[in-house]
Structure 1
Amino acid sequence: MKTQAILDQMILVVLNISLWQGRKALQAGDLATNGIDVSKLPPGTLATLGSKRIISPDALKVFLALKREAVTLCLKNGVRFGSNGYAIPREKVGELSRELKRLKDEFETAKSDFLSVYEQEVENWIDSNPEWAPIIRSAVDSPSHIQKAIAFNYAALDVKAPADIGENGLDEEVNSLYGQLCQEVRFAARRAFEYTFIGKQEVSQKALRPIRTIRSKLTGLLFLDPSIAETIQVIDDTLEKLPQNGAIKGTDLNMAAGLVGRLLANMGRVVIGEPEGENDNSEESPEVSMPAEIINSQNTGKVAPIAWDF
């Protein structure tokens, strides 16, 4: 069975990283305390009041950065599987687990450091916003609450299809992995193309890093679809033709840009005319940027032909 054949070559790595946002819902009473006429506010059916910060967002940046790094590592090595899971090639799980353990240790150290200064950080925030001191103080969480709210956990699971449950949804999830992979590659390639190649007369060897990152990802996930091998071969053929050191310009630049902007940016699509754009709200670097959303539809079709004359 195709599903089990794929499952046999992957491990499901699940990230369970919870962050405390340092916010609380803003209440009408909070505004009234500061002399704002709440009767003039729009009704709740029309608008909400949003949230209030009870601590500086700078104090929490380290946790978000570590979570993003964990997600990036999983996306570089595998492909999204479900909401918090990643299908990782078995041969890459060991190294990934070591890296996740390193991040978990850093996370726990940062958490301990943060808890030791939490109350002072709250006071600093109040000092910065003295006119709102009462509503900040009324919303402050206890250190024990923060201790539970901030957590970094992960697990590596060996997935098997249940023999006694026919319609379990696993086939559909597994069959969507190739489409998800194509979407992630397209996203990363478009980001790399926009950051690195558009408007450039020459680029450095560093511009090839996103290509090699994508190639490594594809190589590990070859078992998802045989057409992946064709894409890897085109990548290899192109890289062999490019200079191994120094600037990349002229025909070589067109070749590299075509690989990223035409082939990889349209992986899994049949391209007729101009390639389609995709939504992109990310601010991450082009080398490791991958999409946050999950695409369940399966993209099929031959790999788009590469073109150098654009």
Structure 2
Amino acid sequence: MDTQTDITVLDNLMAINLDVSIWTARKKLTPADFGGAALPPDDLASLGSKKVCDPKELRIFGTLKARAVNLLDRTGVRFLGGWGIPEDKADDIVAELTVIRDDFLSAKEQFLNRYDEAVKDWISLHPGWESLIGGSTVSADYVRSRLDFRWQLFKLVPPRDNAVGYGLQDEVKELGGTLFDEVAKAAADTWKRCFEGKDKVTHKALSPLRSIHAKLAGLSFVEPRVVPIVDLLDTAFNRMPKRGHIEGSELVMLQGVVSLLRDPATLVAHGQKIIEGQEASDILAGLVAGTLPVPPKEKPSAKPRFVPEAVHPHAIDSQGLW
């Protein structure tokens, strides 16, 4: 798959780093915790950890971090250890992150207000181990310092000297490929959750596809073949029934679209075909008819890259696609 993103995409891209700290409620076990019992030497085995508070008390922080990661995965592309996001979407993304951060800080204060009680409850749940837990507890101030939610948003300006900016250029070149790989991963998950083994689906099955569409549309400047894929999805959405189940030829078409999205190389190839003049509607028609049309000047391959099965009343055979 040949996707090399030009450094000029930085004109429309901002970088964001998510920095979330969550206290683990764990302390390292020490030989003293075992009351002088014989232990294997350090080069043979290492001691694990003990929980000094109920991990369920901290579950909310992991949930909120996951919400933030999901937001950035839906709207951005992995870049420089964080994410690259569209500059014109930055305000909206920061607004959503702010809501999540406020929920995180509120949960933090609620937990700290009952921290001492939570530790006592945990000790009472483990009679006979009071000294093991009690001797390892930490102060509420320490826990406060280990719970934090912040982010850094910045604009990248490449150095004028090509030699100096070489590393950044390499990272930028990979953006297109990274984007298509992320789309493929999301599409594979969508296939398993919504389409695999189905002979009809509800309109809820379109929701993850619309999320993929929104991600691609927002990052359309990253790679020239993104826009044709956005158009392909638009055309597919417009052909869906307004209400009721999606089945028959419409379902075959959707399954074919998801299968295209699951294969980055094939997706890029069909984006290129649309750029070269093939209509998105022709590709969708090929999915329903049982074969993809071959664009002009391209000889049919002995091994077709994508051959969905024609519509059948009750069963849909993937012909090895899915």
Q: TM-score range by the shorter chain?
A: 0.7 to 0.9
Query: Identity percentage over the alignment?
Result: 34
Distance 1:119 1:68 in 2: 27
Quote the RMSD (CA, aligned, Å).
2.1
Shift of the 244–202 alpha-carbon distance from structure 1 to 2, 3 Å rule, reads: same
Partner of 2:13: 10
AA partner of residue 68 (structure 1): A
Gaps of 5+ in 1: 272-303
Shift of the 305–221 alpha-carbon distance from structure 1 to 2, 3 Å rule, reads: farther
AA partner of residue 161 (structure 1): P
Corresponding residue SS for 2:129: helix
* 1:308 paired to 2:301: no
* 1:89 paired to 2:89: no
Partner of 2:219: 221
AA partner of residue 266 (structure 1): D
Distance 2:267 2:238 in 1: 26
Gaps of 5+ in 2: 269-303, 310-317
Corresponding residue SS for 2:128: helix
CA contact (8 A) 1:179 1:268 kept: no
* 1:195 paired to 2:198: no
Query: TM-score, length-normalised on structure 2?
Result: 0.78
- Equivalent residue in structure 1 for 2:99, among 102, 118, 124: 102
CA contact (8 A) 1:20 1:146 kept: yes
- Equivalent residue in structure 2 for 1:77, among 75, 78, 88: 75
Corresponding residue SS for 2:114: helix
CA contact (8 A) 1:13 1:154 kept: yes
Shift of the 307–231 alpha-carbon distance from structure 1 to 2, 3 Å rule, reads: farther
Moved over 6 A (4+): none
Shift of the 66–146 alpha-carbon distance from structure 1 to 2, 3 Å rule, reads: same
Query: TM-score, length-normalised on structure 1?
Result: 0.81
Whose Rg is larger? 2
Q: Which has the higher contact order (CA 8 A, sep 6+)?
A: 1
Shift of the 268–45 alpha-carbon distance from structure 1 to 2, 3 Å rule, reads: farther
Distance 2:305 2:179 in 1: 19
Corresponding residue SS for 1:242: coil
AA partner of residue 137 (structure 1): G
- Equivalent residue in structure 2 for 1:26, among 29, 35, 38: 29
Shift of the 270–55 alpha-carbon distance from structure 1 to 2, 3 Å rule, reads: same
CA contact (8 A) 2:7 2:173 kept: no
Corresponding residue SS for 1:13: strand
Superimposed CA distance per residue, residues 230-266 of structure 1 (whole angstroms, 9 cap, x where no aligned partner): 2222212222222122111222222212211x11111
Distance 2:136 2:6 in 1: 49
Distance 1:269 1:23 in 2: 47
- Equivalent residue in structure 2 for 1:122, among 115, 119, 125: 119
Superimposed CA distance per residue, residues 10-35 of structure 1 (whole angstroms, 9 cap, x where no aligned partner): 111221111111112223332x23x8
After superposition, where does 1:186-265 map in structure 2 within 5 Å?
186-260=184-258, 262-265=259-262
AA partner of residue 19 (structure 2): N
After superposition, where does 1:51-66 map in structure 2 within 5 Å?
51-66=49-64
Which region of structure 1 is more displaced relative to structure 2, 161-170 or 54-63? 161-170
CA contact (8 A) 1:80 1:87 kept: yes
AA partner of residue 234 (structure 2): D
Shift of the 141–207 alpha-carbon distance from structure 1 to 2, 3 Å rule, reads: same
CA contact (8 A) 1:178 1:224 kept: yes
